[in-house]
Amino acid sequence: MELYTLDSLLRRETVVDKFESLIWTERYVSAGDFELVLHSTPEYRRLFSAGMKLASNVSHRVMKVRTVEDSTDEDGKATLKIKGYSLEKELEDRVAFGALVDTTTGSKWEMTGTPGNIARKIFHDICVTGILSAQDIIPFIHEGNVLFLDDTIAEPSDTVTVAIEHTTVYKALSDLCSMYDLGYRLVRNFDTSQLYFDVYAGSDRTTQQTTLPAVVFSPALGNLQNTTELTTIENYKNVAYVFSPVGYQIVTADGVDAGVEGFERHVLLVKADDITDTNPSVANALMIQRGKEELAKNRQLSAFDGELNHNTEYKYGTDYNLGDLVELRNVDGVTSNMRVTEQIFVADKEGERSYPTLAINLFINPGSWLAWDYNQVWEDLGLTDYWATA
């Protein structure tokens, strides 16, 4: 694995291929990070400084150096440890809000559209157009996807209304995309001095489809080793009681029977003091949406880490990418469709290796709770039945 310093135009400048270790991580719905450890020399101390940008031959992401630590141990060994984050983290330095003219307490930036388009609008308005300040515009920025194949998984088509309080672009995008299983990325287009931002949903590479070659990870197939499986319901909630000044709604999580009861019922209390619309249909729709959003933050987690065998037939960036659905078969023969949420590259004295992190996929299907229009309620549709029996 090679590392490059970048010049002010994001072009490769200096190759760094002699280091003790390098961990390079990129993520689907949040910023990646890296840690580089080198022998401390005058050359390296001059080369690396806080704020400089790095690229790698295994990734399109750009990392920015945040800290440089120069230390000497008791044996006199001098070590330079350099850490930083991918450029998505820079979005913490941008405020997500619609205008500076309305700064009153409780004011919000309201947008209506599909989740993907709302995410694109947040970035476009603040970081491309610069509606708050022209100085907020991201240098070298372009919008769209020129580096990856088109996704085969459709984005959620629901029309939702999002009301954003004063926050950062990074948090607004991360929260919204996490709720709807979308990813976002800020990637470098090689040495063209171009950065591309896009929101994406990934591609289906399981054996249930025939459009793309299937990707199946399994210790039994010899392409995974040193595996770790994690399942937890520590923060899991499946029913939300949403209370507002104009009423309440009981919202059930996607895929959960509305009649769930007893010890299987995990209730989340949601205070929606900001929902005050006097139109019952609108208020109910907003409360249902708020309940779905909060339940999305409290899902049960099933994750899997594994080291790719050097002889694996699957290559990251070619056979699968972040956000893709792949198939996982564990040692017991149980098969799950998992989303690639993270890819870690490691280079050290033991050699080079890569690690995917896989998580249970919960994307929105037509006919599910998240797929129906939030501006409609049962009474508007002329229905009298319950979800459990409809």
10 touches 140 (CB < 8 A)? yes
Helix/strand/coil for 262: helix
Closest listed residue to residue 148, CA positions, set 181, 192, 196: 196
pLDDT of residue 387: 44
pLDDT of residue 362: 36
Those residues with Cβ within 8 angstroms of residue 128's Cβ, 6 or more apart along the chain or in another chain: 137, 138, 141, 143, 197
Q: Is 94-200 a CATH 1.10.287 domain? A: no
Q: Pairing mode, if any, of strands 267-271 and 239-244?
A: parallel
Q: What are 31's two structure tokens?
A: 């910023």
Helix/strand/coil for 156: coil
| Geometric angle at alpha carbon 124, from 67 and 33, rounded to 5° | 25
DSSP secondary structure code for residue 124 in this structure:
I
DSSP secondary structure code for residue 276 in this structure:
-
Q: Is 216-232+300-360 a CATH 3.40.50 domain? A: no
pTM score of the predicted model:
0.79
Q: How far is CA 179 from the centre of its chain?
A: 10
pLDDT tens digits, residue range 304-358? 777 777 667 899 999 999 999 998 887 777 778 889 999 999 999 989 988 888 8
123 touches 185 (CB < 8 A)? no
Q: How far apart are CA 263 and CA 101, in angstroms?
A: 49
Closest listed residue to residue 287, CA positions, set 375, 384, 372: 375
pLDDT tens digits, residue range 338-349? 899 999 999 999
Q: How far apart are CA 35 and CA 84, in angstroms?
A: 7
Instruction: Say if 94-200 and 216-232+300-360 have the same CATH topology.
Output: no
Torsion, CA 281, CA 286, CA 291, CA 293, rounded to 10: 140
Q: Where are the domains of the chain?
A: 3-87, 94-200, 216-232+300-360, 239-297
pLDDT of residue 106: 61
Q: What are 219's two structure tokens?
A: 């210790």
pLDDT of residue 105: 55
What is the length of the chain? 390
Interhelix angle for 169-179 vs 115-123, to 10°?
170
Q: How far apart are CA 209 and CA 228, in angstroms?
A: 27
Give the fold, CATH level 3, of 3-87: Elongation Factor Tu (Ef-tu); domain 3 (2.40.30)
Closest listed residue to residue 240, CA positions, set 278, 197, 165, 293: 293
pLDDT of residue 357: 86
pLDDT of residue 377: 42
Those residues with Cβ within 8 angstroms of residue 46's Cβ, 6 or more apart along the chain or in another chain: none
What backbone phi and psi angles, to 5 degrees, belong to 359?
A: -130, 150
Closest listed residue to residue 98, CA positions, set 88, 89, 108, 106: 108
Q: 237-259 as b/e, with b when 16 or more CB fall inside 10 Å?
A: bbbbebebebeebebbbbebeee
pLDDT of residue 210: 94
pLDDT of residue 386: 44
Evaluated on CA atoms 341, 347, 348, 349, the torsion sign reads positive
pLDDT of residue 104: 61
Q: How far apart are CA 291 and CA 271, in angstroms?
A: 10
DSSP secondary structure code for residue 128 in this structure:
I
pLDDT averaged per 10 residues, the chain (length 390) = 96 95 97 97 95 96 97 93 98 94 72 96 98 96 95 94 91 93 96 97 94 90 80 91 96 93 96 92 93 89 71 88 90 81 93 85 36 40 43
316 touches 234 (CB < 8 A)? no
Closest listed residue to residue 24, CA positions, set 389, 343, 259, 251: 343
Q: How far is CA 49 from the centre of its chain?
A: 28
Interhelix angle for 169-179 vs 280-296, to 10°?
90
Which pairs count as long-range contacts for 282-285, CB under 8 Å and 24+ apart, including other chains?
282/375, 283/244, 283/246, 283/247, 284/247, 284/249, 284/377, 285/374, 285/375, 285/376, 285/377
